Amino acid sequence: MKIGFDHNKYLQEQSEYILERVNNYDKLYLEFGGKLLFDMHAKRVLPGFDENAKIKLLHKLKDKVEIIICVYAGDIERNKIRGDFGITYDMDVLRLIDDLREYDLDVNSVVITRFEGQPATTVFINKLERRGIKVYKHSATAGYPTDVDTIVSDEGYGKNPYIETTKPIVVVTAPGPGSGKLATCLSQLYHENKQGRVAGYSKFETFPVWNVPLKHPLNIAYEAATADLKDVNMIDSFHLEAYNQMAVNYNRDLETFPILKRIIEKITGEEAVYKSPTDMGVNRVGYGIVDDEVVKEASRQEIIRRYFKTACEYKKGHADKDTVQHVKLIMNELKLKEEDRKSVVEARLTAAKMKLAAEKNEICSAVAIELHDGTMITGKSSSLMDSTCAALINGIKYYANIADEMHLISPVILEPILTLKRETLKNKNAALNCEEVLIALTICAATNPMAQLALEKLEMLKGCEAHSTTILSHNNENAFRKLGIEVTCDPDYPTDNLYYNN
């Protein structure tokens, strides 16, 4: 893989800049946008970026940092899902706490925002408190967003309980957007000011990257990634007016900046030190780019991935037509086609050949994996295993230099599994999924050196690109994610079944 980003340079630059910002205050509330861990979007568009760069940055500053996690009560009630992990926001809060502790980071508390006594949220609060996690409950802010006098009063931010903190940097993060991070930061600023402490607010948002051009593919890829939020990148007019310098931001930050500036001024009683939304940010990711052409191409490929993902989400009923059309317009803007993703062409060609050979008109599922050396490996669906598993097995056979006709998994292992699924468990779709195939391969590896050799090659599939001509089951999609294979799908189901597809 060609590298376009210097992780170590970025880490050094970023930590120094945050510490420089902290020096101006007794305490800095740092709102973290995007993903604190496993930022796969950043990794894909910035080849060389460590998906855990942000948490490693915080680990480097751990003696000065504590963390508050916000989650909106409404997201818990409607079981909102974090797409990349397929888990609900409340479960993601638990995962986040565990992961932060692994990095020796101090989790101060969880804040439930806009809490109105919702039943499922109350159960979640009980679960946290009975495991020793401090929980604070914030209500909706009276007067927000226009009545600044009410917002900055005991009826507004003052109604929220003050969160006791002890370290100079307080990171406020959340499972996703709309979780109340900003309101939590400003509520704390209000209480700190009333107690006579000088506290500040800054924002750490990786994208859009303020110091690369507006129409750079890197920033356009961010628009594609947030199409469901209707985010639009724009020139920061406040920054241009104040400094005569171009900077890129997005519509929501630009729209809320005048109000935010007034609120901060009302809290502190002084003119705000920030003249623009860009001023508020501390992000230095643009300074880590070392090969712009590599980043541009990686970003173009990400836009194509986002197009397929959005089209599949629309098919599943999770996205609206406007979102799909918006990403399609982004594709057109950069003159990108579906076929610019090489694995798409190969997968569709394989499926077309299968259809020609089929005795009746049926949906043919094929998967193509583009290996690191450019070799295309394909897999076809069968009664034994689906196309995802077949491609996976063929990929590790290639890396292990094992002949295609050689069977890695003994029928003695496979047949009892199939019998169990079909006859005992009464599964309508008994074809093996990726996890089942890999478990069977692991069992065979105990007595078969060739199976063991193939199993050892799984790591080599990390970072490979794949495409399926049908929507993957949740199990197979999850298996590819864990193996680090970047997979996209055509928005078609493998069968006409409504329930038994997944």
pLDDT tens-digit readout, 208-225: 999 999 999 999 999 999
Whether 360 has a pLDDT exceeding 70, the answer reads no
The residue with greater pLDDT, 425 or 335, is 335
| pLDDT for res 411 | 82
Statement to judge: residues 269 and 321 lie in one domain: yes
Of 114-123, 388-397, 419-428, 467-476, the one with minimum mean pLDDT is 419-428
The pair of structure tokens assigned to 365 is: 């599922």
Identify whether 380 is part of a domain.
Answer: yes
Whether 410 has a pLDDT exceeding 90, the answer reads no
| Cβ–Cβ < 8 Å for 217, 231 | no
What is the distance between the alpha carbons of residues 107 and 105, in angstroms, rounded to a whole number? 6
Statement to judge: residues 348 and 467 lie in one domain: yes
Identify whether 264 is part of a domain.
Answer: yes
Amino acid at 377: I
The pair of structure tokens assigned to 402 is: 């094992």
DSSP string across 57-110: HHHHTGGGEEEEEEEEHHHHHTT-EETTTTEEHHHHHHHHHHHHHHTT-EEEEE
CB-based contacts of 493, cutoff 8 Å, min separation 6: 315, 363, 470, 471, 501
- Cα of 471 vs its chain's centroid, Å: 20
User: What is the rounded average pLDDT for all residues in the chain?
Assistant: 93
Compute CA distances 479 → 402, 431, 462, 497, whole Å: 23, 16, 12, 23
Statement to judge: residues 165 and 26 lie in one domain: yes
| pLDDT for res 430 | 78
In CATH, what number is assigned to the domain containing residue 97?
A: 3.10.630.10
| pLDDT tens for each residue of 21-50 | 988 888 999 999 878 888 999 999 999 999
Statement to judge: residues 147 and 129 lie in one domain: yes
Mean pLDDT of 99-117: 96
Statement to judge: residues 139 and 239 lie in one domain: no
Whether 330 has a pLDDT exceeding 60, the answer reads yes
Which pairing describes strands 366-370 and 376-380: parallel, antiparallel, or unpaired?
A: antiparallel
The pair of structure tokens assigned to 37 is: 């861990």
Identify whether 443 is part of a domain.
Answer: yes
Statement to judge: residues 121 and 197 lie in one domain: yes
Mean pLDDT of 173-190: 94
The pair of structure tokens assigned to 434 is: 């990726």
Nearest-CA neighbor of 112 among 161, 40, 63, 48? 161
| pLDDT for res 239 | 97
| pLDDT for res 359 | 65
- Model-level pTM? 0.90
Mean pLDDT of 166-176: 94
The CA dihedral of 346, 49, 55, 177, to the nearest 10 degrees, is -60
Coil, strand or helix at 124:
helix
Mean pLDDT of 355-378: 87
H, E, C per residue of 163-204:
CCCCCCEEEEECCCCCCCHHHHHHHHHHHHHHCCCCEEEEEE
Statement to judge: residues 451 and 351 lie in one domain: yes
Band of residue 88 on the pLDDT scale cut at 50, 70, 90: very high
Whether 502 has a pLDDT exceeding 60, the answer reads no
Nearest-CA neighbor of 233 among 244, 273, 246? 246
Whether 349 has a pLDDT exceeding 70, the answer reads yes
Identify whether 124 is part of a domain.
Answer: yes
Which of 182, 206, 230 is the endpoint of a domain? 206
Nearest-CA neighbor of 308 among 162, 487, 456, 76? 487
Number of domains composing the chain = 3
Mean pLDDT of 320-349: 96
Which of 184, 206, 228 is the endpoint of a domain? 206
Identify whether 433 is part of a domain.
Answer: yes
What is the distance between the alpha carbons of residues 410 and 319, in angstroms, rounded to a whole number? 43
% of the chain exceeding 70 in pLDDT: 98
The residue with greater pLDDT, 129 or 408, is 129
Band of residue 361 on the pLDDT scale cut at 50, 70, 90: low
Statement to judge: residues 27 and 140 lie in one domain: yes
In CATH, what number is assigned to the domain containing residue 308?
A: 1.20.1570.10
| pLDDT for res 84 | 67
Which of 206, 227, 262 is the endpoint of a domain? 206
Mean pLDDT of 162-191: 94
Statement to judge: residues 90 and 215 lie in one domain: no
The pair of structure tokens assigned to 278 is: 């860009």
| pLDDT for res 501 | 67
In CATH, what number is assigned to the domain containing residue 453?
A: 3.40.140.40
Statement to judge: residues 53 and 176 lie in one domain: yes
31 C-beta neighbours (distance < 10 Å), count: 23
| Cβ–Cβ < 8 Å for 218, 226 | no
> What range defines the domain where residue 445 resides?
341-489
Classify burial at 38, counting beta carbons within 10 Å of its beta carbon; exposed 0-12, middle 13-18, buried 19 or more.
middle
Statement to judge: residues 315 and 348 lie in one domain: no
Statement to judge: residues 158 and 240 lie in one domain: no
Identify whether 265 is part of a domain.
Answer: yes
Whether 496 has a pLDDT exceeding 90, the answer reads no
| pLDDT for res 333 | 95
Identify whether 347 is part of a domain.
Answer: yes
Identify whether 471 is part of a domain.
Answer: yes
